[in-house]
Amino acid sequence: MSTVWKAICGLCLLAIGLPAADSPFVGTWKMNAAKSKLEGSGLDSNTVVHVEQDGSGLKVSVEAKPGNFSYQAALDGKATKVTGSPVVDEISTQTIKEREMSARGIKGGLIVFVDLRTVSRDGKTMTITRSGSNPEGKPFKATLVFDKQ
Protein backbone atom coordinates (compact mmCIF):
# COMPACT_ATOMS: atom_id res chain seq x y z
CA MET A 1 0.00 0.00 0.00
CA SER A 2 2.83 2.41 0.76
CA THR A 3 4.24 1.95 -2.78
CA VAL A 4 0.87 2.93 -4.28
CA TRP A 5 0.65 5.93 -1.96
CA LYS A 6 4.15 7.07 -2.97
CA ALA A 7 3.26 6.71 -6.66
CA ILE A 8 0.09 8.80 -6.20
CA CYS A 9 2.00 11.51 -4.29
CA GLY A 10 4.69 11.55 -6.97
CA LEU A 11 2.10 11.99 -9.73
CA CYS A 12 0.42 14.81 -7.79
CA LEU A 13 3.73 16.65 -7.38
CA LEU A 14 4.49 16.17 -11.07
CA ALA A 15 1.09 17.56 -12.04
CA ILE A 16 1.57 20.63 -9.82
CA GLY A 17 4.95 21.31 -11.40
CA LEU A 18 3.68 21.14 -14.98
CA PRO A 19 2.65 24.47 -16.51
CA ALA A 20 -0.94 24.72 -17.68
CA ALA A 21 -1.23 24.18 -21.41
CA ASP A 22 -2.10 27.30 -23.34
CA SER A 23 -5.43 27.45 -25.08
CA PRO A 24 -5.30 27.14 -28.90
CA PHE A 25 -6.90 30.61 -28.90
CA VAL A 26 -3.79 32.18 -27.31
CA GLY A 27 -1.83 34.43 -29.66
CA THR A 28 -2.18 37.45 -31.90
CA TRP A 29 -4.79 37.14 -34.63
CA LYS A 30 -5.17 39.50 -37.62
CA MET A 31 -8.38 39.57 -39.61
CA ASN A 32 -8.18 38.17 -43.12
CA ALA A 33 -10.57 40.59 -44.85
CA ALA A 34 -10.56 38.63 -48.12
CA LYS A 35 -11.98 35.54 -46.37
CA SER A 36 -14.32 37.39 -43.98
CA LYS A 37 -17.91 38.48 -44.40
CA LEU A 38 -18.23 41.37 -41.95
CA GLU A 39 -21.86 42.40 -42.37
CA GLY A 40 -23.20 43.62 -39.03
CA SER A 41 -20.35 42.08 -37.02
CA GLY A 42 -19.39 45.35 -35.32
CA LEU A 43 -15.75 44.90 -36.44
CA ASP A 44 -13.76 46.38 -39.31
CA SER A 45 -11.42 44.61 -41.74
CA ASN A 46 -8.28 45.80 -39.88
CA THR A 47 -9.16 44.11 -36.60
CA VAL A 48 -6.38 42.53 -34.53
CA VAL A 49 -7.17 40.30 -31.53
CA HIS A 50 -4.65 39.58 -28.76
CA VAL A 51 -5.42 36.58 -26.54
CA GLU A 52 -3.40 35.64 -23.44
CA GLN A 53 -3.84 32.75 -21.03
CA ASP A 54 -5.10 34.06 -17.68
CA GLY A 55 -5.41 31.21 -15.20
CA SER A 56 -8.25 29.01 -16.41
CA GLY A 57 -9.59 31.81 -18.62
CA LEU A 58 -8.37 34.15 -21.32
CA LYS A 59 -7.54 37.86 -21.40
CA VAL A 60 -8.70 39.32 -24.71
CA SER A 61 -7.91 42.74 -26.17
CA VAL A 62 -9.20 43.84 -29.55
CA GLU A 63 -7.86 46.61 -31.77
CA ALA A 64 -10.73 47.64 -34.04
CA LYS A 65 -12.82 50.52 -35.30
CA PRO A 66 -14.86 52.17 -33.86
CA GLY A 67 -12.67 51.55 -30.79
CA ASN A 68 -10.39 49.20 -28.91
CA PHE A 69 -11.89 47.03 -26.20
CA SER A 70 -10.95 44.27 -23.78
CA TYR A 71 -12.45 41.62 -21.52
CA GLN A 72 -11.67 38.57 -19.41
CA ALA A 73 -13.07 35.40 -20.98
CA ALA A 74 -13.94 33.20 -18.01
CA LEU A 75 -14.97 30.30 -20.32
CA ASP A 76 -17.68 29.25 -17.86
CA GLY A 77 -20.74 30.81 -19.52
CA LYS A 78 -21.00 33.65 -16.99
CA ALA A 79 -21.11 37.23 -18.28
CA THR A 80 -18.10 39.49 -17.67
CA LYS A 81 -17.68 43.22 -18.26
CA VAL A 82 -16.29 44.54 -21.54
CA THR A 83 -14.21 47.73 -21.35
CA GLY A 84 -14.22 50.20 -24.25
CA SER A 85 -16.78 48.68 -26.63
CA PRO A 86 -19.70 50.72 -27.97
CA VAL A 87 -21.31 47.48 -29.20
CA VAL A 88 -21.43 45.33 -26.02
CA ASP A 89 -21.34 45.87 -22.24
CA GLU A 90 -20.75 42.24 -21.31
CA ILE A 91 -19.67 39.00 -22.90
CA SER A 92 -20.11 35.41 -21.83
CA THR A 93 -17.81 32.70 -23.16
CA GLN A 94 -17.86 28.96 -22.74
CA THR A 95 -15.55 26.19 -23.90
CA ILE A 96 -17.28 23.62 -26.10
CA LYS A 97 -14.26 21.55 -27.18
CA GLU A 98 -10.50 22.08 -27.09
CA ARG A 99 -10.53 24.29 -30.21
CA GLU A 100 -14.10 25.55 -30.00
CA MET A 101 -15.94 28.03 -27.81
CA SER A 102 -19.21 29.92 -27.81
CA ALA A 103 -19.63 33.58 -26.94
CA ARG A 104 -22.57 35.90 -26.39
CA GLY A 105 -22.33 39.68 -26.63
CA ILE A 106 -24.73 41.56 -24.35
CA LYS A 107 -25.78 45.23 -24.57
CA GLY A 108 -28.23 46.71 -22.08
CA GLY A 109 -29.17 43.24 -20.85
CA LEU A 110 -30.03 41.96 -24.35
CA ILE A 111 -28.02 39.44 -26.35
CA VAL A 112 -26.85 41.27 -29.50
CA PHE A 113 -24.73 38.50 -31.01
CA VAL A 114 -23.89 34.82 -30.62
CA ASP A 115 -20.56 33.42 -31.80
CA LEU A 116 -19.13 30.02 -32.53
CA ARG A 117 -15.33 30.45 -32.39
CA THR A 118 -13.11 27.72 -33.80
CA VAL A 119 -9.33 27.35 -34.19
CA SER A 120 -8.17 25.13 -37.07
CA ARG A 121 -6.34 21.86 -36.36
CA ASP A 122 -3.04 23.40 -37.50
CA GLY A 123 -3.60 26.37 -35.13
CA LYS A 124 -3.13 28.96 -37.89
CA THR A 125 -6.72 30.11 -38.47
CA MET A 126 -9.50 31.22 -36.15
CA THR A 127 -13.00 31.43 -37.61
CA ILE A 128 -15.86 33.20 -35.85
CA THR A 129 -19.37 32.51 -37.12
CA ARG A 130 -21.51 35.32 -35.71
CA SER A 131 -25.25 35.96 -35.81
CA GLY A 132 -27.21 38.68 -34.11
CA SER A 133 -29.03 41.97 -34.48
CA ASN A 134 -27.54 45.36 -35.33
CA PRO A 135 -28.44 48.50 -33.31
CA GLU A 136 -31.49 49.04 -35.59
CA GLY A 137 -32.71 45.52 -34.78
CA LYS A 138 -31.96 44.03 -38.21
CA PRO A 139 -30.65 40.46 -38.08
CA PHE A 140 -27.22 39.67 -39.53
CA LYS A 141 -24.85 36.76 -40.08
CA ALA A 142 -21.09 37.30 -40.36
CA THR A 143 -18.06 35.10 -40.80
CA LEU A 144 -14.82 36.50 -39.37
CA VAL A 145 -11.59 34.78 -40.37
CA PHE A 146 -8.34 35.54 -38.54
CA ASP A 147 -4.79 34.43 -39.31
CA LYS A 148 -2.36 33.77 -36.45
CA GLN A 149 0.59 36.15 -36.48
pLDDT tens per residue, range 97-137: 999 999 999 999 999 999 999 999 999 999 999 999 887 88
pLDDT tens per residue, range 8-51: 433 333 333 334 468 999 999 999 999 999 887 778 899 999 99
Average pLDDT over every residue of 80-103: 96
Residue type present at position 63:
E
In terms of Cα–Cα distance, which of 146, 117, 111 is closest to 129? 117
In terms of Cα–Cα distance, which of 98, 100, 97, 80 is closest to 89? 80
Tell me the C-alpha distance between 51 and 78, whole Å. Answer: 19
CB 148 within 8 A of CB 49: no
Q: Where along the chain do its domains lie?
A: 23-148
CA distances from 42 to 67, 78, 96 (A): 10, 22, 24
- This prediction has a pTM of 0.83
Average pLDDT over every residue of 63-92: 94
What per-residue confidence (pLDDT) applies to 39? Answer: 85
Per the model's pLDDT, the better-predicted residue between 1 and 56 turns out to be 56
pLDDT tens per residue, range 136-148: 888 999 999 999 9
- Domain 23-148: which topology? Lipocalin (2.40.128)
CA distances from 109 to 87, 91, 132, 139 (A): 12, 11, 14, 18
Tell me the C-alpha distance between 100 and 116, whole Å. Answer: 7
